[in-house]
Amino acid sequence: MTADRIYSALLVLYPRSFRHEYGADMRAAFSELRRSTAKTPLAFWSFVIADVTRSAAGAQIDEWRRGPRQIALRLAASSAAGLAATAAAAHGTMWLYGYFYHPYLEGTALPEAPYGIFLGLVLGGTVGVAQWLLLPARVRRASTWALASAVAVPIAVLFCSAAVDRALTGLNPVAAEPQRLTIDLLFVGVRGARTWIDLAVQFAAMAASALTIRALMRRPLMERRHAH
């Protein structure tokens, strides 16, 4: 194995994006350095390995600090946006139900499946738009999208199944207190789900809306801004 090949192998210690940007230049600089060095082979390789070890560690730390942490914050912000929008939609629906309440409706409940699907659509749509706005395209590939969905799905479970629970137990929204409603939506949801089919339908609605948004908005807004 030649010295250049050994050095190329050592470059695997650097983050992929760094290698992509500077790998060829580093190999070229190494070749020139090797040709012109007056050091013994042992001294030269000691210097090179110390340089690679130190700088690769620095590059990895930089990548971690500037890359994944920022992405994690943006993913959390996207999920929080979905949570807020779904809560607002649930409250808004209950308010409308109460506003237009008539004694004739006494004892009736919101139809569970459409209401659950509606909340699923709101959640999926909001998370999809928020991720489109906040996340770069490279992050929104299948694997990272799955990770983002792993954050959004538990929220969907809580909200959508809570909606079903509310609907099936004949909620009278006029008497419901908004604060109580939020707490119930957050904590009562899981045990309140009536059937797995209800949940599956709601998940499907959430996933469909999120994937539709993703398909429609392949390129994030941030990249468009930078392009101009």
Partner 1 sequence: MTPTRAEFHVLLALHEGPRHGYRLMQDVEELSSGRLQIGPGTLYTAIKRLRAAGLITETDADAERRRCYKLTRKGRTVVEEEAQRMNDLVRLARKRGLLPSAS
x/- letters, 59..98, toward partner 1 (CB under 8 A):
x--x------------------------------------
What are the angstrom distances between the C-alpha of 171 and each of 5, 40, 100, 106, 154? 71, 83, 15, 10, 23
Shortest distance (Å) from residue 78 CB to partner 1 = 25
Q: Helix %, strand %, coil % for the chain, to 5?
A: 85, 0, 15
CB-based contact 134:213 (threshold 8 Å): no
Question: Cβ closer to partner 1: 106 or 223?
Answer: 223
Question: Cβ closer to partner 1: 25 or 177?
Answer: 25
CB-based contact 226:145 (threshold 8 Å): no
Shortest distance (Å) from residue 47 CB to partner 1 = 6
Question: Cβ closer to partner 1: 56 or 188?
Answer: 56
Distance CA 163, CA 157 (A): 10
3-state secondary structure of 41: helix
Q: Is 153 in the site for partner 1 (CB under 8 A)?
A: no
Distance CA 127, CA 85 (A): 9
Q: Which of residues 47-66 bind partner 1 (CB under 8 A)?
A: 47-48, 50-52, 54-56, 58-59, 62
Of 151, 154, 156, the residue nearest 71 (C-alpha):
151
Q: Which of residues 19-48 bind partner 1 (CB under 8 A)?
A: 21-22, 25-30, 32-33, 47-48
Q: Is 18 in the site for partner 1 (CB under 8 A)?
A: yes
Structure-block tokens of residue 95 = 């308010």
Question: Cβ closer to partner 1: 18 or 97?
Answer: 18
Contact residues: partner 1, CB under 8 A: 14, 18, 21-22, 25-30, 32-33, 47-48, 50-52, 54-56, 58-59, 62
